[in-house]
Structure 1
Amino acid sequence: MMIKEFFAKNDEMLDLYTQAITKAHGAHHPEVFEVRKVYEDIQKKVKSGQEDLTADFSKLRDLTANYAIPADACGAMTKTYQTLEEFDHLVQG
């Protein structure tokens, strides 16, 4: 699957979930605010035709400890991290 196809298929969910997890988990996991910001940057880049997202996903790996799902994560946070990790693998080729 191509980056643009993956983005088109998952953007609506990732946009909603990255925002939702800031409200649900922000107090105990402040990194989710940065995850949201990085995802917004990814959205802007893909929508403007850029496909070099290497730096963005490197930052996400650092923020999330390689997409480690916290013990207190809800379904939305779990799905967000899993989908971002899948997107990351696609970007890395």
Structure 2
Amino acid sequence: MTEFNTVVKEHFPKLEIYTLPLTRAHGKNHPEVYRVHELFKTMNAKVKDNTVDKVDLDKEFTELRQVTNHYALPSDACETYEAVYSMLSESDRAYYN
């Protein structure tokens, strides 16, 4: 869980900034980014409110993998899109290690 805590500190502040603009830039062609944004907001709230080492994010990561087709990027993905999916994928891997 130490690795996950490190990833949270490194990636979650950026994800908090990037996921909303992603919906504005790509939501029309990729409506799944709205769900990605909502799932991340839920995860971020759980992490911020947590006082124990292990936060239960199984449901959110499971749905993220499903919604994003295991973080597969569309052909028109911009750098922000790539960064969001990369950070989410890394967070997912760290969570389960």
- How much has 1:4 moved relative to structure 2? 2.5
Q: 1:73 maps to which residue? A: 77
Task: Give the whole-Å Cα distance in 1 for the aligned partners of 2:17 and 2:38.
Answer: 13
- How much has 1:52 moved relative to structure 2? 1.5
Unaligned runs of 5+ in 1: none
Q: 1:8 maps to which residue? A: 9
Q: What TM-score, normalized by structure 2, do the two folds share?
A: 0.90
- How much has 1:86 moved relative to structure 2? 0.4
1:58 to 58, 62, 68: 62
Q: 1:25 maps to which residue? A: 26
Unaligned runs of 5+ in 2: none
SS of residue matched to 1:69: coil
Q: What TM-score, normalized by structure 1, do the two folds share?
A: 0.94
Q: Following TM superposition, where does structure 1 have runs of at least 4 consecutive aligned residues deviating by more than 6 angstroms?
A: none
Task: Give the whole-Å Cα distance in 1 for the aligned partners of 2:95 and 2:13.
Answer: 19
In the alignment, is the contact (CA less than 8 A) between 1:18 and 1:36 conserved in 2? yes
Aligned letter for 2:73? I
SS of residue matched to 1:2: helix
